[in-house]
Amino acid sequence: MPFLRALFGSIGLLTLVPANAWAQWTVSSPNGSTSISVSLHPSTGALSYSVTQDGAVVLESSALGISTSAGDFVNGLSFVSRSNAVINESYSLPGRKKASYLNAANEAVLRFSKGGQELHLAVRAYDDGIAYRYRIPGSGALSIYSESSAFNLPDTATGYAQSYVSNYEGYYPARGSFTSGTLGMPVLAAVDTRWVLLAESDLGGSYHTSQLTGGSGNTLRWSWPTATSVNTSRQFNSPWRLAVIGSLATLVESSLVENLSAPSQLADTSWIRPGRSGWSWRAGGNQSDYNTHVSFVDSASAMGWEYYLVDEGWQASWVPSLVSYANTKNVGIWLWVNDEDVKTESQMRTLFSRWAGWGVRGVKVDFFDGDSQVTMQLYEKLAQVAAENRLLVNFHGCTKPNGIGRKWPNVLTQEGVFGAEQGELSAAHNVSLLFTRGAVGAMDYTPGAYSNAGGQTTWAHQTALPVLFASYVQHYSDHGAMYRDSVAREFLRALPSSWDDTRLLEGHPSQYATLARRRGNDWYVGTISGGAGRTAVIPLSFLTAGTNYTAHIYRDGTSDNDIAYQVQQVSSTSVLNIPVRANGGAAIRITSQSVPVVPSALYKIINRQSGKALAVQNASRSDGAAVIQWAYVDSTTNDEWRLVDAGGGYYGLLNRNSGRTLDVYDASAAAGAKLIQYTSRGSANQQWQLTDVGGGYVRIVSRHSGMVLDVESASLADGANVIQWPWSGDANQQWQLVQVGSVP
């Protein structure tokens, strides 16, 4: 009997296979749990693949193949060779859900030939999934006519997917099967005890975005939203076709889409700063009126947010003035633009250069509403030209994330979601998003829409959404007063938009979700219900053992529009039991700061040795006025302070009388430097940590210098200067916070 030679496993391992047998090549992940096997049919020469995890079949035999002007690589293929590689790289991003990304996989490139032309199939196995792409070597023009690729799910698979629309603004309903319909990715499937998230990555401008079309046997076939061929050149790489596989936590925490993307094209990303943004479009007001935007800039500044987005209706005559005004408030301006006005590179360069010259920080480009190759090329060019002008980017009315945020890190978010601007959205929809659209990249849902709840969700549910929905410029879509007057104001002031760790604690796509994210030493937890009320049981084992923490809990109150606030001391052994109303939720900030601080409280700060209060000299309201100690006077306000959360366990100390912040003069790091008040700039010499020293007293530590507030020469006199000095433990360095009121 004649024999064929086929490669199994590593290069050089040859196995004799009968001529009428299938040839098969397997790649296993670094820990051996996930395997993808590629097969070549002995008579038709057609390729297929299957996937297992821990021995269980996840994807059954699924078709491979691509038809091009260089050859129809759907059948008639002959095996040429195999090469192996180990993928092992780490990288970081400015906008991120984890501090460091690890791209670790085993890869095989299988070479096949037909009619003198070659097709290369690159296959990767990750511990949390698989991916493959087609490569066509050579040079010159190339047309892609169609693709025969498929995901063949087991017949019993169920899941969640939206019907395809080009802006991805739809729901993700539960599906009993995938035997029909044209679906937009990502598609979430339940396969026995595992979950599978189907998506793609690294489109660049070389391909159409794809859809998945359901068919018999739960076979999802790749298709395009247009009949137009792809026009490209060789050497050609198709997008990666990928499946994230594992538990729901695996899917939510995965970075497979980013790992498969092209690496960053920017050598310098120091200017790319994620942040929070106010946004007036959904809240209303005359968008053409300068004063409308001034008021929203003021609101963003009061919340400590970094940005404000000026949406459709802005006037070139007043934008430079608004930018200048916003700069005085430490708020950066973004501008909205219709994609029709930046279709050509010439248009982009003219407008982006002009706006950057005004001092604009970012652009929101809207109304793409298409997934063709031409539109994909437009995304790429917009990101590139924006980066050349040091502009941040938010795509709207757009495609889903395909890894562009890694290739162009200035793209901090994109819509591609049925979000809060659409009106009252159900709690069930919000739950489903975490496991579908939210799992593949930053999502500009514009959360925190209290006035949009309308009985569909509670206000505590809305407060939790900015934790669950990552957007590296997080747009808050309600009126400034809704945040200023909220019980959760201090939570929203402190909440970051970029993260060092992300962990799904519990959840189900149709029921509820609890997610924890960390920035620095602080953890933020969001939990929401998509239906019936429940008790969220949240073990805090993710906290550092042996460290004491304070949990600030904002949960459902006595009505849907009531947020109850409580403070609780916790540790890694604690378990929180949070009552959640129907369609409700809770948001929690857990900080290692050991001194509980009441949001919106006013304090007198009393020195332990002298019994006198921290005060601004002569009740001055000017920058640079000295900070001293003085006997507390109930009728004055220059000796009362509000603590404003600066993140990472630090606070700004805001004087009630002047509205200015406690500051180390000249940002000095020297012992003996005097304390003054100054306009808040968010700098480290204006940020302070309160550390418990016992007996109800704290030391107040400068973030900039590491030194503490000290009454000079341990004086007992009114008017003695307050300075910074290395910690000695003496009574003149110890202070007591006594609440005397609260801001409205």
**CA nearest neighbour of 152 among 86, 217, 76, 56:** 217
Encoded tokens for 721: 């200067």
| Collapsed DSSP state (helix, strand, coil) of residue 103 | strand
Show the 3-state SS of 559-592.
CCCCEEEEEEEECCCCEEEEEECCCCEEEEEEEC
- Type of residue found at 432: S
**CA nearest neighbour of 627 among 732, 557, 724, 531:** 724
Catalytic residue positions, numbered: 366, 421
Q: How many CA atoms lie within 13 A of 127 on its CB side?
A: 11
- Type of residue found at 598: V
Beta bridge partners of 131: 124, 242
Encoded tokens for 91: 């990288």
Cα–Cα distance measured from residue 215 to residue 60, given in angstroms and rounded to the nearest whole number:
14
Q: At what angle do helices 319-328 and 345-358 cross, to 10 degrees?
A: 50
- Type of residue found at 36: I
How is 41-75 classified by DSSP, letter by letter? -TTT--EEEEEEETTEEEEEEEE--EEETTEEETS
Cα–Cα distance measured from residue 504 to residue 255, given in angstroms and rounded to the nearest whole number:
14
Rounded to 5 degrees, what are φ and ψ at 378? -65, -45
* 706: alpha, beta or left? (left if phi > 0; alpha if psi -120 to 50): left
**CA nearest neighbour of 240 among 36, 91, 412:** 36
- Type of residue found at 254: S
Cα–Cα distance measured from residue 587 to residue 287, given in angstroms and rounded to the nearest whole number:
32
